[in-house]
A and B are shown apart, each in its own frame.
Chain A
């Protein structure tokens, strides 16, 4: 609650009628005494602008129309330049619809007619203040939203910045990867890690849930995975180490599904361990395809001490391996239908298999076309390994 020296709301009355100040102070004396309203007075538009420039805490301007030096309608046009966080109420002659309409067009919030009925004026002032309060609250929450959105944008940039953007393009194989982030920051990532003896570490992962916590969990998962991949031979051991490290501090029960494989171009063998991730698809040059086995894994971060399985597959010339996250197969269209694994397989029925880059881009484009106007809920990640033709 305000007091006389520090009222809840400040109203600037602009009128060239000298008796009005005395009248307002008399008729509004209770509100002034209780600290509800405080009043300032100006004799014309020019004086009003001077007051507004000096006192930035005016909430309402109550202005007459016909005044010397600067009239009320001109004043209305000038107000936003000195203070945009107030509302104007115009005092006009009864039935002067033309001026009232002009005033409203110039941003007046409401009007009262002469001679001023003070009960009516108070109702108008209260309505204007209620509107102003709501407007200010909306503005404040918008500012908060903008701050949150900025944070999410930063997290999205971090997420994008850690993804590889150059890929091995060797004589005997090529790799490509891309991700389309959903509006809410998700936690997909993929990585291509150069290992010794020309071997390549290939990881694709999906963190449970969305938002900044997921992005942070994704960051540490990716760093731990890269560290383990460089130091450890077996993919199953890599996942076990990362899982144990992630479990050391994980109050929120977050987890990350990870497929990690090591491809040796000299033998064309892909050795892999699947930590709860949807299995990659191997597509052969004749258009047939199969999923890689699950290796009895578990999403990382769920429980410590889990032993991961491992398997390997020998690829053939022209084979294409598609590593992806469930954002691809579970993308939905406006009829709530899923894109599904069959649609993914269907893209590659006509031989020969495309290049790694073409394949990844084809998949993301097909998902986009399928989803149409439906909003994208999840990150779409796709990484491809294409064995060179013979």
Chain B
């Protein structure tokens, strides 16, 4: 698992690669929380290279979404592969976190 961060003006794009499960979810949380600075206005998490996410990984996404929500920072996900999309649909998280087909769509909405 690896998190790479790019800044597009005040929008932070975090690209997550590999697998996120209970063995590395704490590391995932540290990397993601660490990447989000004070002056960020929107966060886009690009899951295009994410092969697998377990419920422990979903918890981190939820935690980050809740923290950002309290700061009025918008958060969205994009480019989910079919298996990852299905994890979000079954858990119902697609109903509480905005999901876009592509990073471009997510950036356009966040811009």
Which residues in A have some Cβ–Cβ distance to B below 8 Å? Answer: 184, 206-210, 252-255, 257, 275-279, 294, 296-299, 302-303, 326, 330, 377-378
Contacts and interface: CB of A to CB of B under 8 A. Distances in A.
11 contacts: A206-B55, A208-B55, A209-B59, A253-B62, A255-B55, A255-B58, A255-B91, A276-B91, A279-B90, A294-B89, A298-B92
Given A253-B59, A294-B89, A378-B54, 4 more contacts: A209-B59, A253-B62, A297-B92, A299-B58
B63 interface: yes
Q: Which 9 A-B pairs have the closest CB atoms?
A: A298-B92, A253-B63, A208-B55, A208-B59, A276-B91, A209-B56, A276-B92, A210-B22, A253-B62
Q: Which of A252, A276, A377, A378 has the most chain B CB atoms inside 10 A of its CB?
A: A276
Contacts of B55: 206-209, 255, 257, 299, 326
B90 A377 contact: no
A339 B21 CA distance: 17
Contacts of A326: 54-55
Classify chain B's interface size.
10 to 19
Tell me the dominant secondary structure on chain A's binding face.
loop
Nearest to A210: B22
Contacts of B96: 298, 302-303
Contact of B92 (A207, A254, A296): A296
A377 B91 contact: no
A294 B23 CA distance: 28
Contact of A255 (B23, B54, B59, B89): B59
B30 interface: no
Contacts, number: 65
Contacts of B100: none
Given A208-B55, A302-B62, A257 B91 contact: yes
Contacts of A207: 55
A380 B91 CA distance: 18
B57 to A, nearest CB: 9
Interface in B62-111: 62-63, 66, 89-93, 95-96
Nearest to B60: A253
Nearest to B21: A377
A299 B63 contact: no
Nearest to B23: A377
B93 A302 contact: yes
Nearest to A300: B92
B90 to A, nearest CB: 6
Contacts of B59: 208-209, 252-255
A298 B25 CA distance: 21
Contacts of B92: 275-276, 296-299, 302
A354 B96 CA distance: 40
A375 to B, nearest CB: 10
Contacts of B66: 253
Contacts of A257: 55, 90-91
Contact of A299 (B23, B25, B56, B93): B93
Contacts of A377: 21-23
A253 B60 CA distance: 8
A255 B91 CA distance: 10
A277 to B, nearest CB: 7
A298 B56 contact: no
Nearest to A303: B96
A254 B25 CA distance: 13
A298 B95 contact: yes
A278 B63 contact: no
